[in-house]
Chain A
Amino acid sequence: MSNTTENRDILLEVRNLKKYFKRSDGYLHAVDDVSFTLERGKTLGIVGESGCGKSTTGRAILRLTEPTSGEVLFEGIDVTKLNKEEMRKMRTEMQIIFQDPFASLDPRQTVSQAIEEPLRLNGIIKDKKERFARVMELMETVGLAERLVNTYPHELDGGRRQRIGIARALAMNPKFIICDEPVSALDVSIQAQILNLMKKIQRDMGLTYIFVTHDLSVINHFADEIAVMYLGRMVEKAPTEELFNNPLHPYTKALLSAIPVPSIHRKRERITLQGEVGSPINPKPQCRFAGRCPNATEACFASEPPLVEVSKDHFVACHLCK
């Protein structure tokens, strides 16, 4: 990949990231040898279905779960080698927004306490009054009305709770945020409000996002580049437009064709995949999609295809796309 990354302002580079979980019946390969780079100010969407390792990838980058091996270079510094105290400092630059705004907030904290907490714990603003002023500023940024300052999460709807999650992530003035399915639990009309807010914040603050989701129509709207994961592997990565117009990996094609389109005029050819996702435990050295792939050949069962660049910025891991 290195030849294409010159002259770009790279914020994050992930090299051969692996995360295996030990199980009684072997190792579960949640993330298996994932590498990519991310430019400052851009959004990388990571898509895939349940269990493909997209959330684990995000967590391993922040070391919320320790990677088994691999490097995560953030502005040139390998965060996997930092000690506890250095990592703590580093985390002020790298934040995360979680999927479930119902579970990720402490029910006994008011809105202002929840937003204040990261500022207090990291000793960013020591003065109580100043800290409160910052909380109010953050609430305004994310569109939470001032009157909600002393309310508790149970009094608020999902959209507002997710706004608290966003305010908490923004509190440290981070450079980089991992958004882990931030709108999946919300109704469509509220979902659109939150997506617009996140886009605005990104523009205003020059943030870099990794956007983890299973929803391709959301990611299409949000990301500059998209990486598709399947059973722990990155199977395709391309600029958003390229991926939607010219998907190469058979799994990406099936995934795109499976989205129900809210229109009665475009009837698209659907590729319905047979069978189900295989087991991520001790996977065989073959293409992990081969068992469901409509085009699989002998070669696909013989070895695992590497991720290669087939055209500019378009990477595919498939024996059939050369």
Chain B
Amino acid sequence: MEEKKITSENEEMLNIKNLVVHYETDEALVKAINGIDLVIKHGKAHGLVGETGAGKTTTALSILNLVPDPPGRIVSGEITLDGEKLIAELPLTNEEREKLEAEGKLPPCAPAKTEREFEHIRGDKVAMIFQDPMTALNPVMTVGDQIAESIRLHQGLDRAAAAERAKEMLELVGIPGIRANEYPHQFSGGMKQRVIISMALACNPRLLIADEPTTALDVTIQAQVLDLMRELRDKFDMALLMITHDLGIIAEMCDEVSVMYAGRIVEHGTLEDIFDNTSHPYTQGLFNSIPNIEDRKSDLKPIRGLMPDPANLPAGCAFCPRCDYATERCAVEKPEKIWLSDTHCVECHLYQQGDTAKKL
């Protein structure tokens, strides 16, 4: 396996700055992502937690420039992968910038690579595992051919050599290489997800994006797949963006966590920050909603109400209508990012600059 050298001096694998993504339909402007920052260091695992519609998957798709356009549009922001700009802000003169700021608009951005260049990045430097292994595979191609496809494309191996590599990859994920000639329907759900993982890892990516990789699987199979992912991550020293709604998986797999709500990262920190010093009321609500397997007598304290309609977000903090701590200020003013420590930040009016974390 050919080692890809870390090309940049800095230690950041991925840097997302102030990303804004909208879906524009005839009926509404859906604000899916409203200015998020996210940094993943080389070889680190970063968890992205949130509920349906929080913008987790759109974040992942933005990195690969796969947001369906139309109706989706990356409105502003910058995405840097291993020192290379993928999405860049358009250059503006100071005058233009001031004018935009005065109008309250964000500087526009555009892909900094051509579609052809993106094709080289996808599957090679960055790979993605999708939630549903049943629909992510081509039913009329053998799994071996599907794995070999990306190897041939990115590494320029000939057909026979690629097929050989595909078998090796299958064996790496615990499937006998001889099964490379079989079709997806001959595999069970857990096996299909392994095939997809082997496909994603075939070109030794530096960043793996896993979007709910085990949600469709049974718990004992989920345990196998998570063990495998952890093992392979250590082996290949790749960075991981783990998208999930399951805080249990985050606790097992990740180094850092970002909690998303209505297109914002409302709390971010290390595992200790998030699990031991839970500071945002939404994060606290998430923890209280999970049945605690260690303490069955405790009552579930659900978050009341529903996630706001992303086409019609509240003027102030998006969580305000459901928040037990909300004040008048929360209804009108969007909270800014406040750093509670070097690693822990939160967007909530309960805190002021200079505050440290307080367990809610």
Q: Using CB atoms and an 8 Å cutoff, list the residues of chain A in contact with chain B.
A: 49-50, 157, 159, 187-193, 195-196, 214, 216-218, 220-222, 240-241, 244, 254-255, 257-264, 266, 270, 272-273, 276-277
Contacts and interface: CB of A to CB of B under 8 A. Distances in A.
A262 B275 contact: yes
A266 B275 CA distance: 12
B300 A192 contact: yes
B302 interface: yes
Contact of A217 (B285, B290, B302, B303): B290
Contacts, number: 116
B289 interface: yes
Given A188-B245, A188-B289, A189-B289, A258 B222 contact: yes
B188 A276 contact: yes
B303 A189 contact: yes
B323 to A, nearest CB: 12
A196 B51 CA distance: 19
Contact of B245 (A187, A216, A244, A259): A187
B219 A49 contact: yes
Nearest to B296: A220
- The residue among B190, B275, B290 with the most chain A CB atoms within 10 A of its own CB is B290
B358 interface: no
Contacts of A191: 289, 302
B115 interface: no
A193 B246 CA distance: 17
B248 A188 contact: no
6 contacts: A157-B306, A159-B306, A187-B245, A190-B302, A264-B272, A273-B220
B218 A214 contact: yes
Given A273-B224, A276-B221, A193 B302 contact: yes
A263 B275 contact: yes
Interface stretch (B141-149, B249-257, B348-356): B249-257
Nearest to A197: B302
B52 to A, nearest CB: 5
A195 B224 contact: no
Contacts of B302: 189-193, 196
B176 to A, nearest CB: 12
B186 to A, nearest CB: 13
B324 to A, nearest CB: 13
> What 5 A-B pairs come out closest when comparing CB atoms?
A260-B248, A192-B302, A262-B247, A49-B218, A258-B223
Nearest to B191: A276
Give the dominant DSSP class at B's interface: helix
Interface string B240-270: 0000011111111000000000000000000
A260 B219 CA distance: 9
A157 B52 CA distance: 11
A157 to B, nearest CB: 6
Contacts of A264: 251, 271-272, 275-276
Nearest to A189: B303
Contacts of A270: 223, 227
Contacts of A276: 188, 190-191, 221
B306 A190 contact: yes
Given A49-B219, A191-B289, A270-B227, 19 more contacts: A49-B218, A159-B306, A189-B51, A191-B302, A192-B289, A195-B291, A196-B299, A258-B219, A258-B220, A260-B222, A260-B246, A262-B247, A262-B251, A262-B290, A264-B251, A264-B271, A270-B223, A272-B220, A272-B224
B301 A216 contact: no
B316 interface: no
Contacts of B299: 196
Contacts of B285: 189
B306 A214 contact: no
B286 interface: yes
Contacts of A244: 293, 296
B296 A240 contact: yes
- The residue among A241, A254, A258 with the most chain B CB atoms within 10 A of its own CB is A258
A218 B300 CA distance: 10
A263 B286 contact: no
B183 interface: no
A254 B218 CA distance: 12
Contacts of A157: 306
Contacts of B83: none
A62 to B, nearest CB: 25
A261 B294 contact: yes
Interface in B291-331: 291-294, 296, 299-304, 306-307
- The residue among B220, B271, B287 with the most chain A CB atoms within 10 A of its own CB is B220
Contacts of B51: 187-189
A261 B271 CA distance: 13
Contacts of B307: 187
Interface in B158-198: 188-191
Contacts of B106: none
A196 B52 CA distance: 21
Contacts of B190: 276
A221 B307 CA distance: 25
B195 to A, nearest CB: 14
Given A187-B51, A264-B276, A259 B293 contact: yes
A254 B220 CA distance: 7
A221 B289 CA distance: 12
A102 B286 CA distance: 24
Nearest to B249: A260
A72 to B, nearest CB: 27
- The residue among B51, B296, B304 with the most chain A CB atoms within 10 A of its own CB is B296
A189 B286 contact: yes
A235 B210 CA distance: 34
Contact of A220 (B287, B291, B306): B291
B226 interface: yes
Contact of B301 (A192, A217, A218): A192
B252 A221 contact: no
A255 B300 contact: no
B296 A241 contact: yes
